[in-house]
Structure formats: C-alpha cells, structure tokens
Chains A and B, each alone.
Chain A
Amino acid sequence: DAGITQSPRHKVTETGTPVTLRCHQTENHRYMYWYRQDPGHGLRLIHYSYGVKDTDKGEVSDGYSVSRSKTEDFLLTLESATSSQTSVYFCAISEARGNVQPQHFGDGTRLSIL
C-alpha cells in the first residue's frame, strides 16, 4: 500500500469554524491531490499540487485552500466551514501526471459540519 496518512480520520465541527485536514506521504511523489466524495457524484477534485508551493484548482475548489510547504505534506483548509462541505475527503498521490500513472489514495477523512 502507498504510504499515505490522512488526519484526522473523523471530525465534527460547527458552521463557520476553520478546519484543516492533513495528508502525509512517505513515497516522495511529486503530485498530491485532494478529492471529496459525495453520493451520486463519485470523487471530485478540489485542488492538486505538482510540487512544493505549486498548486492549482480542481473542479470544486470554491471555499477551499491548500498549501504544500514540504514534499510530504499537503494541507486542505476550509476557512469558514459550511454544511455543504460535509463530505468524505480523500488525499491521493502520484509519481507523474494523472494521465500516465494511476493515483493512489489514502483512507479518507469523514468531515461533518453541523
């Protein structure tokens, strides 16, 4: 299994509070991704990173920001959480671009915003 650790695994918080999710990898892969999974939608890309301090938006980036100060860590921040951001969040990594090599996923963070 790819060395990907997501923390926390579960979190319950209130609307309007800031939330940060962490993804840590031990594979030294260049690319890291954040997805959310919702019923009926599969997984949707929020943001991705193609190197330290290099990030770009995905399909559903509104309300989210990311940071990557080290190769091994990719943080996802909800500045002011809303109930629509209740979801399961997955981090993924890949050695190369997403159209030549598969992405490998962590076990997810279940986030509930009340």
Chain B
Amino acid sequence: DQQVKQNSPSLSVQEGRISILNCDYTNSMFDYFLWYKKYPAEGPTFLISISSIKDKNEDGRFTVFLNKSAKHLSLHIVPSQPGDSAVYFCAASAYNNNDMRFGAGTRLTVKP
C-alpha cells in the first residue's frame, strides 16, 4: 500500500527553465511533507519541507506547494541547473508516528 506516489519516474528539462515535480498522497493523517534529493552512491539529502498548516514554502530556487484538499504537493525549481540532475523523493509523516513514507522517486535531468 503505497501511501505516497510519484507517478513520473523521470523528467527532462532545459537549463534555465522551470522543473515541476509532483507527488500525491492518500493518508489524510500526514501533516509534514519533505523533498529529498539523491545523487548516485550517496544518501538522500534534505531539500525543503512544509507543514500542513502552510500551502507554500520557499528556499532560494526551490518552492514546495501543498494542496491538502487534493492531497497533492509539488516542488518547483527555478531556474533549473545541470547540478540539479538527481533523483528527487517526496516523503510524508504523521503527527502520531515516526513512520515516514517515501515515494518511489523522480529522476530529473537538466540539459545544458
């Protein structure tokens, strides 16, 4: 039962353009959402998070949007850079347990 879904296994964008990565969840108890970036042979690196009391959080080129009614969140990267090429994981957790759930990941390729 995959409670967090990333339906696009891959995404390719041109350098300088916007990258939009999407994530859907099914568990209405989730109240904290995160995005991680992962390079090959390394562990996931925390990128940005958002609490369910907000609908947007920005950190430099990265913005996460949360639509609770649709159970959907997205990560926007503007402008995209070749160094952003990595696998991006969406994750979610609930206030009542430590079991963070991850999506299967989206491989982003930013072309020069």
Q: Which residues of A contact B (CB under 8 A)?
A: 4, 31, 33, 40-45, 48, 50, 56, 58-59, 90, 92, 97-100, 102-108
Query: A104 near B105 (CB under 8 angstroms)?
Result: no
Q: Contacts of B43 on A, CB cut-off 8 Å?
A: 4, 90, 92, 105-108
Q: Counting CB contacts under 8 A, is B34 at the interface?
A: yes
Query: B99 near A45 (CB under 8 angstroms)?
Result: yes
Query: A105 near B99 (CB under 8 angstroms)?
Result: no
Q: Counting CB contacts under 8 A, is B94 at the interface?
A: yes
Residue of A nearest to B32 (CB): A99
Interface-side segment among B12-20, B44-52, B71-79:
B44-52
Q: Contacts of B105 on A, CB cut-off 8 Å?
A: 42
5 additional contacts, CB 8 Å, given A42-B89, A48-B98?
Answer: A43-B89, A56-B98, A105-B45, A107-B41, A108-B41
Q: Contacts of B103 on A, CB cut-off 8 Å?
A: 42
Option from B34, B41, B94 in Cβ contact (under 8 Å) with A102: B34
Q: How many A-B residue pairs have CB under 8 A?
A: 61
Chain B nearest CB from A32 CB (Å) reads 11
Q: Which residues of B contact A (CB under 8 A)?
A: 2, 4, 6, 31-32, 34, 36, 41-46, 49, 89, 91, 93-95, 98-105
Q: Contacts of B42 on A, CB cut-off 8 Å?
A: 107-108
Q: Contacts of B98 on A, CB cut-off 8 Å?
A: 31, 33, 45, 48, 50, 56, 97-99
Chain A nearest CB from B7 CB (Å) reads 12
